[in-house]
Amino acid sequence: MFLLLWTAVLLCEISADTGLSQKPTVVIPPLTAGQQSTLTCTAPGLCSGSAPDITWSWRGKRNNDSYITGNTTEFKTENVTAGTQRHTSALTFNPLAEHHSTSVTCKVSFRGDITTEETQTVNVSYVKEVQITGSRKVTEGETLSLNCSVESFPPSLITWAKMSESDLQEDTDTFTQDQRTGALSIYNVTAEDSGQYVCTATHLNKTHKMRNVTVTVIYIRKPQISGSTAVNEGDVLSLTCSAESFPPSVITWTKLSSNTTLNNGTGSATLVIPNVTAEHSGQYICTANHLNTTLTERVTVTLTWITEIQTGSVCELQSDVLTCWCVSEGFPLPTFKWPLLEDHTQYSVVTSVSKQTVNSTVTVRNHGNTAVECVASNENREVKANLTIQTKLPEADAGPQRGVLPWIVAGVSLTVNVLCIICIWSLWNTRKKVKPNQEDRVYMSIQKAETSEYEVITPYQT
């Protein structure tokens, strides 16, 4: 227990009618933490004799006596009238926030063990450090909840503000310090809610305390792919995949139906393939791995290519009809141009397609050319070739020879058959004029059994 005691060893006569019901007069000016102040205690009544004893005592918030460091006391005597005096004690100290709501007692003791005292509550204006509680990290879609508090007397006004790039924006919310706490709540937060927030404590119309806190929103956006997906054969394929997120995502490039990682990076990754060929066409997959979330984006790479005029492209001349075939492959499918048709009005062009192969056939009469040029092109480039002209025996000249041969064979066969018939008929007539021998008659008899001429068969007698 701390007692501030000082005693003026003076005698003060006090009459009974003065009334010890009177109490000392204690004056406490407005107190501000950290600023030196003086409390005064004046003894009741006017003394014409010795001065009374005046003591100070201090009781803390928990009803325990406390000690105030750095205090000084001063006793003053004021002559009011001839023979009467007023006695005052002054206590000077530096008030602190801990002194707020404590009690100070001034006790006056007169001769004859007569005492009187006065107790008052001390109010100290003060403001302490701003305290911010609550999670600074929140997942997108959840609720951000922060509490800003400051211990002060009288209560401070707490305001929340979000820091922009150049200055403070409008207050997000404003709270009075009724419960010494200011709650900031943002529902369904988005990435735009990330940033620096400022809690400000305004005390007695003065901004005394400010504290910043950085809020981060955990989020991820759909991966975005940039770069040309249509490239020419031999060029460089360059595609960049990025995913806006916090914390940064891990980006990985793969090709469909392949588990091979082509490239990866944090936040973004660039896929580079130099000197692309037809095999590099297809679907590529960008995968963004973010904490427990995986997002993918696909892109189809198309290669623009064309081959040279292929072997087998040729021209065939038959009579006055020229037929040419020209073959090429590519993507997009190549188109053909025949410069020789510029000087002709009668011709035919037939185009056939099989997968990426295109065959163009042109037929023209009376061409009068010694060389034929075929031109194929697509978005990639243009290819040309001079086709060889091969001469073929026309079908119109070969046709009559093939028609005469069957008639010759038929004529020879008919002549042989007629001659054979004449020979057989002549031999038959000759044999009928010769008398037959026994064997002949038997043979003839057998052959003529049904005729009357040979009804009886007898042996020939000599």
* Contact yes or no for 107/115 (Cβ under 8 A): yes
Smallest CA-to-CA distance from 128 within 85, 170, 90, 177 is with 177
d(CA 24, CA 273): 96
Q: Is 96 helix (H, G, I), strand (E, B) or coil?
A: coil
Q: Note the helical H segments in 390-452.
A: 395-432, 438-447
**What residues form the annotated binding site for Mg(2+)?**
454
DSSP for residue 373: E
pLDDT, residue 421, reads 78
Give the end-to-end CA distance of the chain in Å, rounded to a whole number.
196
Task: Please determine whether the domains at 3-126 and 128-219 fall in the same fold group of CATH.
Answer: yes
β strands within 164-292, DSSP E = 168-176, 182-186, 195-203, 206-220, 224-226, 230-232, 237-242, 245-246, 250-255, 263-266, 268-273, 282-290
Structure tokens at 321: 């009809």
* CA distances (Å), origin 287, targets 128, 129, 259, 266, 283: 50, 47, 12, 11, 13
Q: Residue 177: its pLDDT value, please?
A: 36
* Fold assignment, 3-126: Immunoglobulin-like (2.60.40)
Which region holds residue 134: left if phi is over 0, alpha if psi is between -120 and 50, else beta? left
The C-alpha atoms of residue 118 and residue 106 are separated, in whole angstroms, by 5
pLDDT at residue 340 in the model: 87
pLDDT of residue 237: 96
What's the CATH code, domain 128-219?
Answer: 2.60.40.10
CA 116 remoteness from chain centre: 80
Q: What is the reported pLDDT for 119?
A: 93
Domains of the chain, residue spans: 3-126, 128-219, 224-305, 314-395
- In degrees, to the nearest 5, what angle opens at C-alpha 378 toward C-alphas 358 and 347? 55
Dihedral of alpha carbons 241, 245, 246, 252, sign: negative
Closest CA to 288 of 254, 246, 225, 242: 242
pLDDT for 7:
32
Q: Could you tell me which residues come within 8 angstroms of residue 4 by beta carbon, excluding any fewer than 6 positions away?
A: 55, 56, 57, 58, 68, 71, 73, 91
| Residue 3 CA neighbour count, 13 Å, CB half | 6
Taking residue 126's Cβ as centre, other Cβ atoms within 10 Å add up to 21
Question: For residue 433, what pLDDT is reported?
Answer: 53
Tokens representing residue 93 in the block: 């100290």
**Cα 316 from Cα 364, distance rounded (Å):** 11
Distance separating alpha carbons of residues 250 and 89, to the nearest angstrom: 76
Considering the segment(s) 314-395 as one domain, its CATH architecture is Sandwich (2.60)
What burial letters (b/e) apply to 216-254, b meaning 16+ CB within 10 Å?
A: ebbbbeebebeeeeebbbebebebbbbbbbeebbbbbbb
Lookup result for tokens 């070739």: 385
- DSSP label of 134: S
Note the CATH number of domain 224-305. 2.60.40.10
Instruction: Take residue 1 and report the two structure tokens written for it.
Output: 């227990």
Q: In this prediction, what percent of the chain has a pLDDT beyond 90?
A: 45
Six-digit token string for 310: 């292929």
Helices (H), 271-331: none
pLDDT of residue 406: 56
Nearest Cα to Cα of residue 233 among 283, 274, 284: 274
List residues forming the annotated binding site: 454
Residues of the chain with pLDDT under 50: 1-19, 168-180, 396-402, 404, 434-462
Kindly give, in sequence order, each residue whose CB lies less than 8 Å from that of residue 245, ignoring residues fewer than 6 positions away.
219, 220, 221, 267, 288, 290
pLDDT value, residue 390: 87
Structural tokens at position 263: 């490239």
